[in-house]
Structure 1
Amino acid sequence: MPIDLRQVAAISGFGGLYKIVKPTRTGVIVESYEENPKTMVAQARHRMSLLDEISIYTTDEEGTVPLAEVFERVHEKYGDNLPLSEKPSNEEYKEFMSEVLPTYDDDRVYVSDMKKLAAWYLILNKYVGFAAAEKEAETAEAETEKPEAKPAKKKK
């Protein structure tokens, strides 16, 4: 079960990722994923993208792979430590991407996209956590597998 990205957003012009807290009349209240979280209102003028709606272009017949699935592949392959140096070159990013998603479309996936992918993965791994997502999925599965309790019959 891939990580749940429905409440995680990237805001154009602002670095990092943001958790959607609640809607307001003029926008959405978001909280940054960082050591000292900052709360702000993202208004209509801010270009906000939910990570759940982002996909990576591929050359296979499907054409794209959801970002959550790509993050899951990175987590399975590398865990907490990405194979990138402190200041990775463009070739390092391309090699990393081809190891994680061999069918990525190198004409439409730019190095800047790969940099965001790596940075976002590190933020999500630190503040959201893939282990927490796995536990939530297991709990949800266990709850759906429990037999339904029949209501007791009322006595007249």
Structure 2
Amino acid sequence: MPYDLKEVAAISGMPGLYRLLKPTRAGVIIEALDEKGTRSVASARNKVSLLHEISIYTQDYDQTVPLSEVFDRIHQKHGAELSLTHKSDDRDLTAFMADIMPDYDRDRVYLSDIKKLVQWYNTVSKRLEYQAPAEEETTTEDGAATAEEALSTAGIIPAAEETNAAGSPEAVTEAKPAKKTTKKKAE
């Protein structure tokens, strides 16, 4: 995930974006993602929309594109500094959206959504660090995996003692040595 959006939220009735810090009895402690970084409490009555749960509609009715992927596309084409703002010309905003996501649903994604997307991207790119996406596993012509990951040993290499915990479905039972029994001679 290029931008970590798990703790970033838009809150109804409050302008801008906020980082969720800690839950309280009455709501959640938030920090504004602006120059001041003021902290306050968002009431439980406010609707909190986490950015990592938001997606953009595509022309395929059953599919959406996560906001983090849209932000990644914007970063790949325009970098952290976006020349557009939410106050830019409507034609420029729709052309920008068509450039970033050619298959976005023009009936369900409104101009106000595009303005919000641009405004959120500008805020996030200024306040959060961009992390390059992790490389995905690729295969060579012979079908061998080239990504570095743990491969199954299929029981050829014995498991470490830590994984042999009681109750583990993968626990390997080792043969216990037979107890030595001594018989007392009857006198």
TM-score, structure 2 normalization: 0.68
| 1:33 aligned partner, one-letter code | L
Report the equivalent of 2:98: 98
* SS of match in other structure, 2:120: helix
Equivalent of residue 134 in structure 1, options 129, 132, 135: 132
Aligned twin of 1:35 = 35
Counterpart amino acid of residue 57 in structure 2: Y
1:22 is the counterpart of 2:22: yes
Alignment of 1:22-101 (within 5 A): 22-60=22-60, 62-84=62-84, 87-101=87-101
Shift in CA distance, 7/86, structure 1 to aligned 2, threshold 3 Å = closer
What amino acid is the match of 2:69? E
Tell me how far 1:145 sits from its aligned partner.
Answer: 5.5
Q: Is the 2:9–2:18 Cα contact (8 Å) retained in structure 1?
A: yes
Amino acid at match of 1:31: E
> % of aligned pairs identical?
50
Instruction: Decide which moves more: 116-125 or 59-68.
Output: 59-68
Runs (4+) of structure 1 moved beyond 4 Å? none
Calculate the aligned-residue CA RMSD, in Å.
2.5
Deviation at 1:117, TM superposition (A): 0.5
Change (3 A) 1:126 1:59: same
Structure 1 position 118, deviation (Å): 0.5
Q: Does 1:8 align with 2:8?
A: yes
Normalising by the residue count of structure 1, what TM-score does the alignment of the two structures yield?
0.80
In the TM superposition, what whole-angstrom CA distance separates every residue of 1:44-85 from its partner, at most 9, and x where no partner exists? Answer: 111110001100000136521000000000000100232427
Counterpart code for 2:8: V
Post-superposition shift, 1:29? Answer: 0.4
Indicate if the aligned counterparts of 2:86 and 2:119 stay in contact, CA closer than 8 A.
no
Using the TM superposition, name which of 35-44 and 85-94 deviates more: 85-94
Q: Per the alignment, do residues 40 and 86 of structure 1 end up closer, same or farther by CA in structure 2, a change over 3 Å counting?
A: closer
Aligned counterpart, 2:165: none
Change (3 A) 1:29 1:119: same
Q: Provide the rounded CA distance (Å) in 2 between the counterparts of 1:91 and 1:120.
A: 19
Structure-2 change in CA distance of 1:21 and 1:85 (3 Å)? closer
